[in-house]
């Protein structure tokens, strides 16, 4: 294959891949946001949503009740709240980082839920 | 010790770590440590990636359609410097790095035994799983086989009298099977072990005992070539590195340091697995990462717990999810079995597509010969699978090592003043992560197609046969690449 033909092939490939990218990429994606939710830890059982889905930039408030002394940690955001027995801790944040973050109850390493923050422009 | 005894003995010790993982009471459903924080890739990206893989495959084929293309080895550049060697000698850099690696492992061991039980506050979890096991692979793929010089177990064995000489000749048939079984144990421990700092230290002590026993029986040279799965994994990754650094003896008085720069992945050319077991090992590198990705998806979770094929429901009288506590050990058994057979599923696929190539080209060579010829061309796909799946852990958890050095035991120390700032993770934008995943997978795919095509041009007598032989291989690589992207696009269990 001649050099010019190779160059032409590479340019055509780059153009095709670029065109496909632009053609397939949606302009906006709507994510239904659950910006406020309550999670409960009672008698060794959890209740509430397994996944909290929000869009990047949203203000989120998560209320966590525990019937025993506990602590809750949101990985990635590195937010930590102590929960005295029988009380509700409030974790409020602006979802500035996109990704999937584990909300973990430290006594027993229980995964309470995942916070999924979707980028606004994908 | 007879050869038979040796063979009977090895499966038992090599499955030790794996059994240890299965026996742990709180085996969870996620990684033992560190959760990749990425979201499922948007579906359009998966479609794009699969289409791009197909297009790029044919472009690579067209570009390298004849063997007059310059061989990649021609673009290798080597520099030799006596001064660089003298600099290393002068500052005793090799010794310093060896001390640093061994000291870090010792600290990890002690921290696990006496430090905090919190996985995120104890130095040993982040050091072993993220810095060593993940970072080690990427460092090898970047600068070459660093582990061959700084293997802490090798340093230990070589410092002890009697561990370098073999007492038994390493049985040829044993080959890389011990390394493969230990590798399976390691992945089993990672996925099902629910490992905590203390149990990690105990596992490391068991692994050290296995390493020393291997050296004691077969001598350190043979053991660290065949039996130490880290050595095998890092060595395979190093074949893809764009540079290598080694000592060269110009003459007796003048040793020098040689740096070689080469096209990334070109080190895989002309490489052949010494034994069938090495082929299975590299396929396990591919399949274990794919399995790890798959088991995090809702699809995999529901396959067992929602019983879509109505297999368990009639036996239990109700949906398996209602019998979660009773069935969980069975689920872990099901996952363990899938993990163990996964490289053989990939091997079956590999052989089927090679057989198609053999039929098309009317090749008289055996399937095993063809498998050996093209085995290493799958390594780039294995590496990019690994990177796309785990690299965010280096950013989210790996950077915390800076803080953990200040407080290795998790006791609230702040030795170097980094204990707090070091805990903040680097969280790149999810859009960037998705883009990087697609492009990394495509780069790996192109590299695999490129390597396989060069191998074919050297192996088959005509260009036509070489190109024809690559059509099934191309289909296989598109299948592997598509599967990798598809897994990344699946909704996660939550």
For domain A36-118, the question of CATH label 3.40.50.720 is answered with: no
Of A20 and B2, the structure prediction assigns the larger pLDDT to A20
Please indicate, yes or no, if residue B485 is contained in any of the structural domains. yes
Residues B250 and B295 in one domain: no
| Domain termination residue (choose one: B217, B233, B261) | B261
A21, A50, A119: residue with CB nearest B494: A50
Lowest mean pLDDT among B2-11, B62-71, B82-91, B109-118: B2-11
What total of structural domains would you count in chain B? 2
Residues B173 and B199 in one domain: yes
Residues B302 and B401 in one domain: yes
| Inter-CA distances, B219 with B50, B168, B213, Å | 47, 8, 9
Residues B87 and B47 in one domain: no
Characterize the bridge pairing of strands B243-251 and A79-83.
unpaired
Per-residue confidence band for B236, with pLDDT thresholds at 50, 70 and 90: very high
Coil, strand or helix at A85: coil
Residues B454 and B484 in one domain: yes
Please indicate, yes or no, if residue B269 is contained in any of the structural domains. no
Whether B427 and A113 lie within 8 Å, measured CB to CB: no
Please indicate, yes or no, if residue B401 is contained in any of the structural domains. yes
| Inter-CA distances, B294 with A95, B27, B33, B447, B484, Å | 27, 18, 17, 24, 9
Q: Is B184 on the interface with A (CB under 8 A)?
A: no
Which of the residues B430, B438, B441, B457 would you substitute to probe the A interface, choosing the one with the greatest number of A C-beta atoms within 10 Å? B430
Residue B1 has pLDDT above 60, yes or no: no
Residues in B touching A55 (Cβ below 8 Å): none
Residue B346 has pLDDT above 50, yes or no: yes
Residues B422 and B298 in one domain: yes
Instruction: Print the domain residue range for B439.
Output: 31-71+275-494
Helix (H) or strand (E) holding B380: helix B379-396
Whether A13 and B434 lie within 8 Å, measured CB to CB: no
What DSSP assignment string belongs to B44-57?
A: HHHHHHHHHHHHHH
B494 close to A50: Cβ distance less than 8 angstroms: yes
Lowest mean pLDDT among A22-26, B91-95, B161-165, B231-235: A22-26
| Chain centroid to CA B435 | 22
Residues B366 and B397 in one domain: yes
Please indicate, yes or no, if residue B208 is contained in any of the structural domains. yes
Residue B8 has what pLDDT? 41
Q: Is B431 on the interface with A (CB under 8 A)?
A: yes
Of B88 and B70, the structure prediction assigns the larger pLDDT to B88
Q: Is B256 on the interface with A (CB under 8 A)?
A: no
Per-residue confidence band for A29, with pLDDT thresholds at 50, 70 and 90: low
Length of chain B: 494
Distance from CA of B144 to the nearest CA of A (A): 31
A6, A75, A118: residue with CB nearest B35: A75
Distance from CA of B56 to the nearest CA of A (A): 8
As a whole number, mean pLDDT of residues B452-470 equals: 86
Distance from CA of A87 to the nearest CA of B (A): 24
Residues B7 and B148 in one domain: yes
A9, A16, A121: residue with CB nearest B431: A121
**Per-domain residue ranges for chain A?**
36-118
Residue B126 has what pLDDT? 95
Paired tokens of B115: 């430090």
Please indicate, yes or no, if residue B475 is contained in any of the structural domains. yes
| Inter-CA distances, B90 with A81, B85, B86, B93, B197, Å | 52, 9, 6, 8, 38
- Provide ipTM, 2 decimals: 0.75
Mean of per-residue pLDDT scores for chain B: 87
Whether B44 and A24 lie within 8 Å, measured CB to CB: yes
Distance from CA of B482 to the nearest CA of A (A): 16
pLDDT in tens, A41-77: 998 888 988 888 888 888 999 999 999 899 998 988 8
As a whole number, mean pLDDT of residues B281-309 equals: 93
Residue B29 has what pLDDT? 43
Residues B344 and B420 in one domain: yes
Residues in B touching A80 (Cβ below 8 Å): none
Residues B120 and B152 in one domain: yes
In total, the C-beta contacts within 8 angstroms joining chain A to chain B are 80
B491 close to A118: Cβ distance less than 8 angstroms: no
Please indicate, yes or no, if residue B266 is contained in any of the structural domains. no
Distance from CA of B430 to the nearest CA of A (A): 5
């Amino acid at each position: 294959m001649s050099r010019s033909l190779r160059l032409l092939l590479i340019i055509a490939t780059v153009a095709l891949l670029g065109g496909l990218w632009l053609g397939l990429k949606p302009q906006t994606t709507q994510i239904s946001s659950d910006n406020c939710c309550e999670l409960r830890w009672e008698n060794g059982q959890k209740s509430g949503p397994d996944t909290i889905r929000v869009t990047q930039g949203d203000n989120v408030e998560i209320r966590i009740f525990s019937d025993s002394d506990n602590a809750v940690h949101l990985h990635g955001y590195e937010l930590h709240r102590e929960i005295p027995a029988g009380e509700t801790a409030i974790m409020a944040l602006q979802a500035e980082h996109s990704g999937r973050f584990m909300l973990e109850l430290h006594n027993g390493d229980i995964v309470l839920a995942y916070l999924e923050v979707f980028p606004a422009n994908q | 010790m007879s050869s038979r005894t040796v063979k009977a003995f090895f499966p038992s010790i090599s499955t030790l770590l794996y059994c240890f993982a299965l026996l742990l009471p709180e085996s969870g459903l996620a990684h033992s440590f560190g959760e990749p924080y990425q979201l499922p890739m948007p579906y359009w990206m998966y479609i794009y990636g699969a289409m791009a893989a197909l297009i790029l495959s044919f472009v690579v084929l067209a570009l390298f359609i004849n063997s007059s293309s310059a061989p990649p080895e021609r673009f290798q550049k080597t520099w030799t410097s006596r001064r660089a060697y003298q600099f290393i000698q002068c500052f005793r850099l090799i010794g310093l790095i060896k001390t640093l690696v061994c000291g870090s492992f010792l600290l990890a061991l002690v921290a696990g035994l006496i430090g905090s039980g919190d996985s995120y506050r104890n130095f040993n979890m982040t050091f072993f799983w993220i810095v060593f096991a993940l970072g080690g692979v990427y460092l090898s793929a970047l600068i070459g086989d660093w582990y061959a010089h700084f293997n802490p177990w090798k340093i230990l064995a070589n410092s002890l009298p009697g561990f370098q000489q073999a007492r038994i000749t390493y049985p040829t048939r044993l080959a890389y099977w011990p390394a493969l079984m230990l590798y399976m144990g390691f992945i089993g421990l990672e996925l099902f072990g629910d490992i905590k700092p203390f149990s990690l230290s105990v596992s490391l002590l068991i692994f050290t005992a296995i390493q020393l026993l291997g050296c004691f029986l077969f001598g350190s040279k043979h053991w660290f070539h065949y039996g130490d799965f880290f050595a095998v994994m890092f060595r395979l990754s190093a074949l893809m590195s764009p540079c290598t650094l080694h000592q060269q003896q110009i003459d007796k008085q003048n040793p020098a340091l040689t740096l070689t720069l080469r096209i990334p992945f070109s080190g895989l050319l002309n490489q052949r697995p010494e034994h069938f077991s090495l082929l299975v090992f590299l396929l396990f590198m591919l399949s274990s990462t794919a399995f790890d990705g798959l088991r995090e998806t809702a699809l995999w979770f529901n396959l067992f717990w929602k019983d879509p094929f109505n297999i368990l429901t009639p036996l239990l009288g109700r949906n398996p999810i209602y019998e979660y506590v009773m069935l969980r050990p069975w689920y872990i058994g099901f996952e363990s079995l899938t993990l163990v057979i996964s490289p053989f599923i990939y091997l079956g696929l590999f052989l089927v597509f090679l057989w198609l190539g053999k039929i098309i080209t009317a090749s008289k060579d055996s399937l095993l010969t063809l498998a050996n010829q093209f085995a290493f061309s799958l390594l780039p796909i294995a590496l990019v699978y690994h990177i796309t799946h785990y690299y965010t852990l280096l950013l989210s958890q790996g950077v915390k090592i800076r803080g953990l050095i200040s407080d290795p035991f998790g006791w609230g120390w702040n030795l170097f003043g980094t204990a707090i700032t070091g805990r903040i993770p680097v969280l790149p934008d999810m859009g960037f992560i998705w883009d990087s995943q697609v492009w990394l997978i495509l780069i790996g795919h192109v590299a695999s197609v490129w390597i396989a095509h060069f191998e074919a041009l050297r192996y088959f007598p005509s260009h036509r046969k070489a190109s024809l032989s690559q059509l099934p291989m191309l289909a296989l690589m598109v299948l592997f690449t598509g599967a990798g992207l598809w897994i990344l696009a699946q909704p996660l269990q939550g």
